[in-house]
């Protein structure tokens, strides 16, 4: 996967969240986006996912220009699997129904085909016994596994993860990170926002460091952690790696 951003800006009212982001990555399979809270990471991810429109600038994914009109965005969103920190499951639907919904209504699967696909991904993540449970009946780890199952059920071009473990306890966090590692080892392309530096270092092959709405530094994962160039990244790693 390749990602290109050219002078991408985004503001909400008077608050400028992204300040002329520009980056041209080499080919990667797993991109980690790290940096302090409020640095613009989630907004950038939502633009890549087609869930937000930038105020200015261009986005290219694998050389293809992302067009921000309604029809183009609808097609793009259907080709991407996105997993959020808050799960974004429908509370009135069961785990199975949460996966069936996009398969049937966004991707045109028949009831039989959608059900078979949904049950297959639920079984893969050890959720078969929980298919008929609603989100309120599931643990945080189970909820996130349902969200990941829903994301991969549609066979997306790539996966986007926005702090997928931020609401989980340590045991559930390890469970979800193991699943993401497994997906990466299958060769799936993914972009991951995470505050788990040790996981980012293990799971990613390329890294972006963002702060104050800008990309401060980027490069292959290991040199970013062992030989950071910018004072901002040096300070950030000095703080967050102290207890990891």
* Overall fold of domain 3-79+159-243: Rossmann fold (3.40.50)
102: CB partners within 8 A, 6+ apart: 150, 153, 154
Q: CA 54, CA 50: separation in Å to the nearest integer?
A: 10
Give the pairing type, strands 206-211 and 30-34: parallel
Q: Where are the domains of the chain?
A: 3-79+159-243, 91-156
pLDDT of residue 158: 96
Q: Sign of torsion, CA 186 190 194 198?
A: positive
pLDDT of residue 225: 94
pLDDT of residue 177: 87
H/E run at residue 48: helix 41-48
Q: CA 46, CA 50: separation in Å to the nearest integer?
A: 6
pLDDT of residue 49: 97
pLDDT beneath 70: ranges in the chain: 243-244
pLDDT of residue 244: 64
pLDDT of residue 198: 87
**Angle 126-165-154 from CA coordinates, rounded to 5°:** 55
**Angle 125-1-87 from CA coordinates, rounded to 5°:** 35
Q: Which two tokens stand for residue 75?
A: 């097609």
pLDDT of residue 165: 83
């Amino acid at each position: 996967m390749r990602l290109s951003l050219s002078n991408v800006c985004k503001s909400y009212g008077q608050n400028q969240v992204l300040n002329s982001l520009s980056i041209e990555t080499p080919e990667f399979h797993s991109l980690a986006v790290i940096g302090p809270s409020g640095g613009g990471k989630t907004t950038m991810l939502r633009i890549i996912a087609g869930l937000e429109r930038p105020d200015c600038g261009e986005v290219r994914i694998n050389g293809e220009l992302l067009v921000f009109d309604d029809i183009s965005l609808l097609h793009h969103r259907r080709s991407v699997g996105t997993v959020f920190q808050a799960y974004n499951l429908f509370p009135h639907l069961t785990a199975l129904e949460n996966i069936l919904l996009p398969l049937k209504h966004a991707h045109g699967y028949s009831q039989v085909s959608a059900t078979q696909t949904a049950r297959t991904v639920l079984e893969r993540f050890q959720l078969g016994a929980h298919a008929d449970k609603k989100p309120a009946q599931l643990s945080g780890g189970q909820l996130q596994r349902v969200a990941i199952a829903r994301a991969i059920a549609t066979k997306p071009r790539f996966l986007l993860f926005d702090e997928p473990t931020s609401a989980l306890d340590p045991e559930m966090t390890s469970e979800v990170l193991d699943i993401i590692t497994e997906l990466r080892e299958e060769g799936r392309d993914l972009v991951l926002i995470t505050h788990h530096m040790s996981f980012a270092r293990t799971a990613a092959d390329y890294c972006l460091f963002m702060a104050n709405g800008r990309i401060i530094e980027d490069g292959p994962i290991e040199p970013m952690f062992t030989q950071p160039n910018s004072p901002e990244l040096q300070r950030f790693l000095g703080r967050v790696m102290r207890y990891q």
